[in-house]
A and B are shown apart, each in its own frame.
Chain A
Amino acid sequence: DADVTQTPRNRITKTGKRIMLECSQTKGHDRMYWYRQDPGLGLRLIYYSFDVKDINKGEISDGYSVSRQAQAKFSLSLESAIPNQTALYFCATSDGEQGYGYTFGSGTRLTVV
């Protein structure tokens, strides 16, 4: 089983719909992250959480929200999807301040039509 599992792997949704992307991990890491990847651009941080009670905005949080349901679960929501949110979304975990144990999920390809 993968250490960081993202569901769904692919999703097509309509403009204005609410959608949730889910991430679960078996690494035992406290820190979890959501990134967005657009073609030719580096991954950009949407939200991050250092423990269950900690939620922080990243570089591009507008239009997104997150929920840390447990140490192992971190979900990303698009309240009202728009076409420019079409992208590849990655969840990641890390094991502490140095972040040497950074592990990425396989990604969710989201298309908003």
Chain B
Amino acid sequence: KNQVEQSPQSLIILEGKNCTLQCNYTVSPFSNLRWYKQDTGRGPVSLTIMTFSENTKSNGRYTATLDADTKQSSLHITASQLSDSASYICVVSGWNAGNMLTFGGGTRLMVKP
């Protein structure tokens, strides 16, 4: 069964600090991996999308990495801001009918002043 596991489930950091969120997946065959940011009460918004051949992709202070051999990805947030407080969801798409998405449970990040 396709699965996406994220860690930690929750994280509290001080404003200005860096953090790294982890994602492991078993989706096969693999098509692409996305990281989404979900603010409370809102829909997920895409941060990065990486295909098999991409090892890293940045979007401002967000940098995602992908190791397709070990089926692991990470999302690094640099110089955190209060507005980074949200859930971060790892989503994997496989080369199956319709390229359906498998969602991780998310990491809930709280940035404190």
Contact = CB atoms under 8 A, between A and B. Distances in A.
A49 B104 CA distance: 22
A43 B46 CA distance: 14
Question: Which residue of A4, A92, A100 has the most chain B CB atoms within 10 A of its CB atom?
Answer: A100
A56 B96 CA distance: 14
A106 B102 CA distance: 19
B98 A100 contact: no
Contacts of B43: 4, 90, 92, 104-107
Interface residues of A, number: 23
B105 A45 contact: no
Interface residues of B, number: 23
Contact of A42 (B31, B34, B103): B103
A107 B38 CA distance: 11
Interface string B7-26: 00100000000000000000
Interface string A66-104: 000000000000000000000000101000011110101
A45 B93 CA distance: 13
A98 B4 CA distance: 19
B105 A48 contact: no
Contacts of A106: 41-43
Contacts of A34: none
A45 B83 CA distance: 29
Contacts of A100: 32, 49
B22 to A, nearest CB: 15
Contacts of B99: 97-99
Given A43-B101, A50-B98, 7 more contacts: A4-B43, A48-B98, A102-B101, A105-B43, A106-B43, A107-B42, A107-B43
Interface of A: 4, 31, 40-45, 48, 50, 56, 90, 92, 97-100, 102, 104-107, 109
Interface of B: 4, 9, 31-32, 34, 41-46, 49, 89, 93, 98-106
5 contacts: A40-B9, A42-B105, A56-B98, A106-B41, A107-B42
